[in-house]
Each structure stands twice: as structure tokens, then as C-alpha cells.
Structure 1
């Protein structure tokens, strides 16, 4: 089946529905949802039910948009107070760790293909390119697995893993582009390579912070009457930050992640509804991205690379990732060996390496199809082996915090329809203060309760003796006489 304007919505809706049903079933067995999304794409692809999707350019474009949203959403959900204790190890893992992984893995790939695989010939730069593509832990996989499992981890493991996975994609992206340029140019000096690397990181970091502050200022100053427009405004700003940073020579992925951190930790109107919106959009982005990548691959082409793919996967999981983590975290002596072992294990590969593997395809590198298929195979192995054992390894290493409160089965975030209570906001006027300036003096009906007061930008919970000022905003919950009766 060839996708066209007449059937793309129908096929897309079916793919989304099947993916969600598969994810619901797979969750019971501990199978990562993102792996199932990949599987659905492969099932419906050219070697399955026959959907013809073979454009690396379109897949890369979908991945670029999706990854921008995922990184921004991940940044918004990350609190500075959580990452502050792990900022040092997180930054080292996201920068030096990626470079070490590339160097170690690339060297091993070069000698393994040279000595043991006669049918596969990769130059040292192509070996390094393959390693660079796979050098980062996947933010989409780590965010979704850790948050969907609801793990309560000791030693600040979750903030560290999420911060690393959210901030190391830019370094892998930079190394991938840099090695493609070296292969195409034939050679590039170490000084030139280091200059490009520093420029991408520096411009990306500064642009992300500055544009994030501007976006936060814009959201607070616009005062839009329709609250639904705020998340749409931020979504437009996410795409602007990514593309503008890329235009001026910085790394857009790093910029949107830092912008998400800035905005998520700042004061903004309708913060909760905006976060909920981006959480949903991030899940949709992950689903569409993995479906598109599943459609792009031809499963039959994975069989010839299974041997080399499995060998590289084993090397990365059991050798280069642990060695990199050990070297990077050597200065941090307070971190236990078990914690370092867990960081090594949760080095998940996912959609990001596959997206980066489309870069050599578009650039026309000689062994680009081979690199793409190897990366895809390694991603499947990583999600199957590491993704399904995140809980098991945490418990095996004694890193699960059983003292943390279990998640509640009921939440007041969405009230049942049977409860007719409504939440409203009103300004304190001179007439309201005519009988006194204390809360108990206000002429409120019996079925209304003031639950919060906003004075300028400060909120507080009042009691009966709390004094009110002209212009204070009251958050009032009210219900009818039979509001709680179904």
C-alpha cells in the first residue's frame, strides 16, 4: 500500500489505535511501549502488510520535530532542585561520556569488522560514525520507561538518568554531523573538529537559556483571555528555538532542552494545563516517531547484520558503557558502586540513534544502509534486554526506595462528573470589605469556600482571621445543595 492524501488519515488512525492497544497489553508483561510501537510499524511496513514508506528525509523530519517536543517536555518536567545534586556527574556523562563511548566503541567496531567479518568493511571514520550514532542514551526511552514504571529510586538515580538522557543527545548529534563532514571532506584537523564541537555546544546552551527566558517573559506578559492558547504559543516557540538555534550554528536539541528547564522552573500562567498538554504531545511524538521508524526499516535486511549487530550490542552493554560510566563517575566517590552499575545498565538505545542513522543515508555515505540496519538491530536488542529489566535491576541492586509512599489510586486532578463543585476566581472589592477586612467578615454563601488567596504573585492558604486587601484574588470552590449526590 502506498500512502497518499486519500488514505493517510485512515491508515494513521489505525496505526495509532493498534499501537495503543499493543502498549496496553505489553505493559502487563513489562515490555517497553516504545518497542511495541516499533514492532507495529514493522508489522505494517513493506515486509509486513505492505505500507510503502522509504523516505529517510521524511523520517528524519518527523524525528526532528518529535525529539524537539520530547526534549522540551522532559526539560519542563525536570526541577532544578532535583538535578542540582547530580549536575556534575550528569554534565560529564552527557559530554565526556558520549565522546568516550564513541572512541571506545568505534575502535572495537573497526578491529572486529576488520578481523572477524570479511563481508563487512568499515573505515576507522565509518566505525566512529556508527559508534557516534549510538553513543547517547535515548531520552524518549528513558523518560517513558522510568515514569511509566513509577520507580522510586535511591541516590538521586532518576534525576541523574533523566538529565543525562535529555542532555547527551546534542553531543551525539554534533559528533554524528562532524564525522559525516570528515568522511565527505576526506580529512579534518583536530582543531577544526574541536572548534565546531565547542561552537555547537556554546551557541546551543546560550540560545536555549536566553530564548527560554524570552519565551517565559512573553507567556507572562501577553495575558491572553483564552487559556488554551498558552500551550500553542509555547509549542510555536519550541519550534522557533530549535530552528533559530540551528540557523545560527548552535545545537537545536540542546537549546530546546535548556529552554524547557528554564520555562518549567519559572512562574507561568496555567502552568499545570501547559505541562499536561506537553505531556500528551510528547507521548504522541514518541508514538509517531517510533511508528515512522518502524515503517522505514525492512525487517528482512536486519537478518544479514544480526551477527555484527548482536556483537556490538553486547560490547556496548557489557563493556564500553560500564567502562565509560566508571571513568566519568570516578571523581564522585559518594556514589556507590551499585548506583554506578545501575547507571551503566540504563544506557537505553531507542529512536534517537535511529534518527541519527538517517543522517548518513541522506548524506550519501557509502556504508550508510549498513549503518542504519545495524543501529536498528542494536536498538531492538537494547530495548528487549535493558528496557524490560529496569525494575528488576533496580531491585537486584537494592536501589528501590520502598519507604516512598505508594501512588494513590485516586486523584482530585480530575473530579468525577457526579461532583458538581466548581472552582472560580474573584477579585476582592471595596463592597466586599465593607463589613470588615478579615475572611470571616466576607458575605459568602454557605456553599462557597475560599481555598487560596493570590496577592500580587504570592499565593497563601487563608483562615478565618486572614486579612484581605483590595485587589486580592480569591480562589473559591462552590457546590449546590445536592452537589455530591449522583
Structure 2
């Protein structure tokens, strides 16, 4: 971890001071990543972990030609995965499959339906995930290049029965892809985890600017039904510089009203790009499930959170949270940063982030009064918070029943009193 962190700092420092052709920058980054990997392995550390940490650090820092680096790394990622699956096919021995096919399939089914869900549930137990979310993570699982790489290790180490391990992993990966791979979207839809789109289609290209510029150059293609085509004006903080129409370039001032398929180049401040996305995007498809996903009621994020506790509580908020606004409460419950479609559960109500501004401040909040339905009837995907709440509710219900039974016993007349009552009547 330490060498990876230092390696990430080294990558950022060298790339920031690198004065060479921009096309060579991704090659330098790749070479430096290999240096971090090999050096860490040479001194007895984990090269994989080191280069992973270095990538996380460098990827979250400002560097020149960052767009070029990301596109190059994206292509290298796909190439690496293709190579791994090619190696999987080359090293597999289908003639040996009949001997292990039955236990391998049984092992795959055990991993899919027992081991992996149990491991995911135990890992996510302390966190405030819903049953739907934990169930989806358990179903998606981990397969592909990582499994193949780990399966190759016994063969490289020349372990006894190493080929059996590899062939078993081959069958497990295939079963996982066939059973889980194509069902990801139906499962997500069944669990209600597909987020409705905020905007429609948008055709955008980011153009790298040399040096440490404080502006971005974006290129948008004007799409049919986009707000800018319907007469919406471009904001003042965006500076249009060029319009390409029918293969001819012209200054924005002389282009007149924008037309469909025009290519517009604009200089903007980086944090405002999402607002322009909405301006140049087509209309988002409206689904009847959108209102259900974002809640039937809309709340002002500036309202005091104490109003929720007064209306739907008490006990929804802690004492420290009663002085916050709804937006501040949601941001605090979400770890300091709210994102589109994030949800916060408060007892029997759910708060949903409907929209954000350019500074990631919550501008619209939806509320649902319907409790989150469990993903399944079994309690395997219940988080620790829900388990504690269910135990409390059960203990409270037991105490109430005992209290009711005790009061009934005290009020019930004895046999002698009943006899007197009968004689008197």
C-alpha cells in the first residue's frame, strides 16, 4: 500500500512535468505503472496491490492529457480482458472435462446460490444497504479475468493436479456467465434498482487543452428535441467558439439559429458540464415507474429535518440531526456526498435524491411512504440495523403480550366470585 501510494505520487509528478508529445504520455504512464509493479514485487510486496493503489491515487489527480490517458487505458483494459479469455481457451483441455463436469457444475451452483451470497451478506452486514442492493451484489458476483488469473497460478507453480483446478475454474466461469451474466438486467429490474435516466441521449466529446487550463473545451452535437434546438439560450458562463455545419466551420456569432446535427464547440468551467449536458440532450424517456422510484411526494431540501420527525416520528432522528435541513441530513447519512437517486431510510419513510446542481447540492427530494419490500422472504440479506430493529420489535411485542395477559388475569373474576354472582342472580 505504501509503495503504491508513493508510486502514484511519482506518476503524477513525472507526468505533470513531462514535456513531450502528447501521444507518448499514456505510454509513459503505462511504463511507470509497470515500474511500480515490478519494484514492489522485487522487495517482497504485492505488485498487484501497489499498482492498484497507484492507479487510484493518480486517477483522482489533475494531470495533463488526462483524457488521452483515460481513452488509452480503457482500450488497454479491453485488450487485457480479451487476452485473458483467449488464454483461458488455449489452456483449457476439453477432453478432460467429462471427468470433472458434474462436480464442477455442482461447485459452480454452490458458489452462485450459497457461498457467494453468504459471503456478500456477511461483508455488507454492518452497512446500511437494503435487501435489494445486497441481493443484487450477491447475484452479480465476481467472475471473468480475475478468476482466470487465479486459476492459472497453480499451473505456473507446477502444482500437482494444477490442470484440474484450471479446468474446474473454466467450467465455473462458463456456468456463472450463462446463469448470471444474461440475467443481470432482469434481476435489477425485478429488484427495482434500475435508475430512471435524468436526461436523454447526448453526444459530447471532451477536447484536451494543453497546460493546466481552468477551462474545458467541449463539443456537442445538436440532437433532435434538445432544449437548445427548441430555442433555449446558452448560459453566459459558456463561451461558444465554433459551429460546424454540413462540413463547413463558422464562428458561432455568424451561424445564426442552431440546427439539428450542428457540431458546437464551447469553452466552459469544468464543474458546469452537467448543466450543458441537459441543454444539448434529447428528452429523457418518461416511464410510468419513474414516479414510483422517486416517490409520490416532493419535499423542499431546505425544510428542517425536524418536521419529518414531528410528522412521521418520533425517533426518526438523533438529537444532533434535528437542527439540520433535509438536504444536510441526507448528505450526512450518505457519508458527506449525495448522488442522483441515492436513498435514505427514516423509519417507515424513504427520502430520494431527485436532482443536484452543478456543485452537487441537493435541489430536489422525493419521499415515499411505502416501506422497502424485502428482496426475498428469508432473512439472509437483512443488514445489522434491520436485525437489531426486528429483535427490538419482537421483544417489545412480547412485553406487550405479557402485559396484556397480566392485566386480563387481574381483571378476570375468581370461581368463588362467579358462584356468588350466579346465586345472587
Q: TM-score, normalised by structure 1?
A: 0.44
Structure with greater contact order relative to length (CA < 8 Å, sep ≥ 6): 1
Question: Which structure shows the bigger proportion of residues in strand conformation?
Answer: 2
Question: Which structure shows the bigger proportion of residues in helix conformation?
Answer: 1
